[in-house]
Every structure is written in C-alpha cells, then in structure tokens.
Amino acid sequence: MRPISRRHALQLGGLGLLSAAVGGTGLLWPRGSLLQPRSGAGLAEPDTLRSADGVLRVRLEAAEGPVTIGGRSATAFSYNGSLPGPTLRLRPGDRLQVTLVNRLADSTNLHVHGLHVSPEGHGDNVFVAVQPGESFDYDYQLPDDHPPGVYWYHPHHHGMVADQVFGGLYGAIVVEDPAELPVARERVLVVSDITLDASGRLQQPSAMSRQMGREGKLVLVNGQTRPTMSARPGERERWRIVNSCVARYLRLRLDGQQLDLLGIDSGRYPVPRRVGEVVLAPGNRADLLVTAAEGTSALEALGVDRGSMGGMMGGGTSGEVGTIATLQVTGAAVAAQPGAPAQPAARDLRGPEPARRRRLVFAVGMGGGMGPGGMSFTIDGREFAPDRVDQAVTAGAVEEWTIANTSPMDHPMHLHVWPMQIVAEAGRPVDDIRWQDVVNIPAASEVTVRIAFDRFHGRTVYHCHILDHEDNGMMGVVEAS
Ligand code: C2O
Ligand code: CU
Ligand code: CU
C-alpha cells in the first residue's frame, strides 16, 4: 500500500474538505452526502473549570442535541452542549466531584481515564450504570503525589462505549504541575473523529467497522476542522494533546517547529525529548512543548498501519488525514524562554523480582460466530464478563505482565487506576523509564510491563482502547485485595 502524496491529497482536499486518504478509509466523500465542515477558524478551547480550595464540583449532562461541529450546526452527543466537554483543571491532592446526569436514550457512566484514584464505590467505578433520566454523584480523591499531566474523561458503559465516545462524549482533564513551566501559553487539543450525514446527524458505522474499529470521516481538533493558531517567533507553548478517537491512531507532525516531548500519558521524562513526530494510539495523550519559529506550519496526522484481518479490504489502517490544524508564527520575535526544568527521575520498577509474572493473550478469532460477521475479540480466550475476576492481585504488589497479541492487527492495551511501566518490547528490554496507561501491542508481537498495584483496593478493568474491540468483549477484570 502506497499512500498518495501529500501535495496530491491537498489538491483533492480543496477548500473546506479534508484530504483524501489511503485504502478505503478515505476522507473524501461525495459532496452532499456528508456534512461539509467550515475550516480555518481560530482555535477555540473548551470551557475550563478549575478547582478552588482543593475541590472542583462539576455537573456534566450527557445528552443528544444541537452542537457546533466543524463550524456547522449538527446533532450529536455532548456534555453540557459542547463538544468536547469542559476541560477540568486539578491539582494533586484535589477532590473532584462530578454529578453525571444522563439525558441520553441509553445507559451511560463516567470514567476518568488515567487518574490514579480509587475504582470503588463512587470513585472511578466502571461497573456503575446510570440509567436514562437518572444521575450519579462521583467523588474522586487525588493523592497528594498524583502525577501531573493530561488525562481525560469519557463514558465506559460496556457495549455502548464506542457509540457514545464517537458521538461526542469526551473532555480533557489537566493535573497541574507543582511548579508551573515557563511558557507563553498552554493549549488543550482534543483530537477526535466523527461521521455526520449531510444534515449533520450521526452516521452509524458499518458492521465491519464495528469490528475493525470505526474511523470517522471528520477529524476534529476541539470540535473544529483545521483550526488556526498563532504565535510569535521564539514563544514557547505547551500543547496537551488527547487522542479521543475510538480507533484512529494519530501520527502527528508539525514540521518547521521545534517539538520537545515532556511525556506520554501520566509519565514525565526526566528531560524533555526532542522529537520529529508523536504517535498516539487511541486513548494516549502527549504533553508537548512547541517552540515557535517564523512561518506557517501544518499540524498533520499521517497514516499509521495498525494492521488488518488478512484479506479484508480497507482493514484497520488509520489513513493519512493531512492537515488537522495550522500554526502561524509571525510578528516580532520574543527573547528565548528558559528550558523546561528537569524532573525528578520517575520511579523505576525494574530490578527487584516482581511478586508475580503473568501472560495475557489478546486474540481475534475468525468464523467463531460470536460477534456480527463472526469475529471474536478475546483476552485469554474469553470475552468480558463483569462478574468474573480474571486477574486477582495482591494490593501493594509489583507484578510483571507480558501482553501478547496473536492477531494481525494492533491492540492498544489500557489498564485503569494503575499506570504501567514498559520494560520490554518483543522480548527486548527497553533502556529508559517509560510510564503509560495505554500501551500499543503491535500485531503478532508482545510487550512486557510492570505494574505497582499500590494504594487502592477493588475491582477495575483492562482492555483494548479500540473501543469497538472493548465493546465486543476485549476486556478483563482485575481485582486488588
Ligand atoms: Cu479510556 Cu477504560 O478507558
Ligand atoms: Cu481508562
Ligand atoms: Cu483491539
């Protein structure tokens, strides 16, 4: 498969249209059958709600209704009528209280992705189901040493997750640093995808894309198509990028600008890493410093081959999208800003023998007749069952999990509550300290992580963050006690 050239894609893209892409996941559509977005407006950010005196109280109403998407009026899901929902800004040690009101036609609930908080009771409990017309009060207590970084929230009601996230239910959470980084400005960029028909209504994905993982025809940044940002030469900005797409992997470039990665997910590198691109699997986040250089740079999402089920046209590949936003750097240069202060080295679980080693096998079965079209999505040969504990761990123990993927497509593995330290990829030890809460497991390969089941007790889940796979059963239960 050979992606078409970027220049060609741009010509095809034309005004107000996203560029064409490769192999069947194309973003070019017949005029009139799908919503034609308006591109190029200034980047808007979701409302920001900040904690005060250690508490943030928020009411989130999930509903289907009018929202602005790509500069057009549309009908989709949203929290509080905006897509994405409000950004929640917290400090370590804060308490977050959310009243979730369900005005949808189906059950829902709320998950705070990546936060290191209790999974029990009114905490980050994905076993709660909030029925239509009802509400639920969540109460999360962040530890005083909660890692700073960018997190996010989204529904987690098994069977409905992909539909509800695809429909527009997501928002960012920022846990601030104990000492602010010196930057000219911060931006939150929530990247999502969605498909809307010509009248701006949600278009349902095909049965096949519910198995491969649906990818939307519109790729949005904060609900906008190709928004523009501006900066002055020399300014340093901090970008918090969330991949809230259901299944699309993002390979992001911003050529012409200097990029220093502070970390992925909750992890923070001791020193920022100069990078040319950042790859985010669904659910991953990037904490990125951008040092502006004169000129106009495109934030591009390039293709990622995430594999396919052999012989199926249009497989799972996340095609090239092209430009998803633009940064214009003009005006008088500002004096160079000081570099990011070094971080204390992150905890390293390598060294001591783990209390236990486990092997988990992610598999996709063909012709089993389990899902529509006969594909089954399993971990250790089983589909999700909420009442079964698949991994019983001792609270406080450090374990080593090798996650194997026997299928011909990638699966981004996610564990709630406890972050994972990647210690080996395909059997080769990694030589740096890498903490993430979504770890991509490439097709026909394996990744080994270590997990410290510290601080909290209770039951929670691990799953593939291609949310269609999760809804199809690729999820298990872990209980710490
Ligand atoms: Cu972002 Cu269990 O998910
Ligand atoms: Cu999560
Ligand atoms: Cu998967």
CATH code of the domain in which 370 resides: 2.60.40.420
431: its two tokens: 């030589």
Mean pLDDT of 193-221: 95
Q: Is the CB of 156 under 6 A from ligand 1?
A: yes
CA distances from 26 to 8, 316, 467 (A): 14, 12, 20
| pLDDT for res 258 | 97
| Owning domain of residue 366 | 356-480
Question: Which residue minimizes the CA distance to atom 3 of ligand 1?
Answer: 113
Say yes or no to pLDDT of 184 above 60. yes
CA distances from 145 to 93, 270, 305 (A): 7, 16, 37
Q: Is the CB of 285 under 6 A from ligand 1?
A: no
Say yes or no to pLDDT of 10 above 50. no
Residue 420 covered by a domain = yes
Residue 2 covered by a domain = no
Please report which confidence band the pLDDT of residue 14 belongs to, taking 50, 70 and 90 as the band edges: very low
pLDDT tens, residue by residue, 67-126: 999 999 999 999 999 999 999 999 999 999 999 999 999 999 999 999 999 999 999 999
Kindly report the pTM of this predicted structure.
Answer: 0.92
Residue 407 covered by a domain = yes
Q: What average pLDDT is seen over the chain? A: 91
Q: Are 466 and 213 in contact (CB under 8 A)?
A: yes
Mean pLDDT of 440-462: 98
CA of 361 to the centre of ligand 3 (A): 12
Residue 372 covered by a domain = yes
In angstroms, rounded to a whole number, what is the distance separating the alpha carbons of residues 334 and 312?
A: 53
pLDDT tens, residue by residue, 391-415: 999 999 999 999 999 999 999 999 9
Residue with tokens 């997910």: 265
More confident residue, 374 or 107: 107
pLDDT over 90 percentage in the chain:
83
Q: What angle do CA 221, 267, 169 make, to 5 degrees?
A: 35
CA of 451 to the centre of ligand 1 (A): 17
CA of 336 to the centre of ligand 2 (A): 38
In angstroms, rounded to a whole number, what is the distance separating the alpha carbons of residues 41 and 109?
A: 33
Q: Within a 10 A sphere around the Cβ of 200, how many other Cβ atoms?
A: 20
Say yes or no to pLDDT of 22 above 70. no
| Total tally of structural domains belonging to the chain | 1
| pLDDT for res 16 | 31
CA distances from 383 to 158, 266, 416, 445 (A): 12, 28, 18, 21
Please identify, by atom number, the ligand 1 atom nearest to the C-alpha of residue 156: 2
Say yes or no to pLDDT of 171 above 80. yes
Residue 450 covered by a domain = yes
Q: Is the CB of 146 under 6 A from ligand 1?
A: no
Question: Which residue minimizes the CA distance to atom 1 of ligand 1?
Answer: 113
CA of 465 to the centre of ligand 1 (A): 6
Please identify, by atom number, the ligand 1 atom nearest to the C-alpha of residue 463: 2
pLDDT tens, residue by residue, 275-307: 999 999 999 999 999 999 999 999 999 999 998
Residue 144 covered by a domain = no
| pLDDT for res 13 | 31
Q: Is the CB of 459 under 6 A from ligand 1?
A: no
In angstroms, rounded to a whole number, what is the distance separating the alpha carbons of residues 341 and 286?
A: 18
In angstroms, rounded to a whole number, what is the distance separating the alpha carbons of residues 400 and 353?
A: 9
Range with the lowest mean pLDDT among 164-168, 287-291, 341-345? 341-345
Please identify, by atom number, the ligand 1 atom nearest to the C-alpha of residue 154: 1
Mean pLDDT of 447-470: 98
Q: Are 369 and 349 in contact (CB under 8 A)?
A: no
CA of 306 to the centre of ligand 3 (A): 10
For residue 388, with 0-12 CB atoms within 10 Å meaning exposed, 13-18 middle and 19 or more buried, which class applies? exposed
Range with the lowest mean pLDDT among 15-29, 50-64, 335-349? 15-29
Ramachandran area for residue 437 (φ above 0: left; ψ -120 to 50: alpha; else beta)? alpha
DSSP string covering 44-76: ----EEE-BTTEEEEEEEEEEEEEEETTEEEEE
CA of 242 to the centre of ligand 2 (A): 13
Q: Are 149 and 110 in contact (CB under 8 A)?
A: no
Range with the lowest mean pLDDT among 19-33, 111-125, 379-393? 19-33
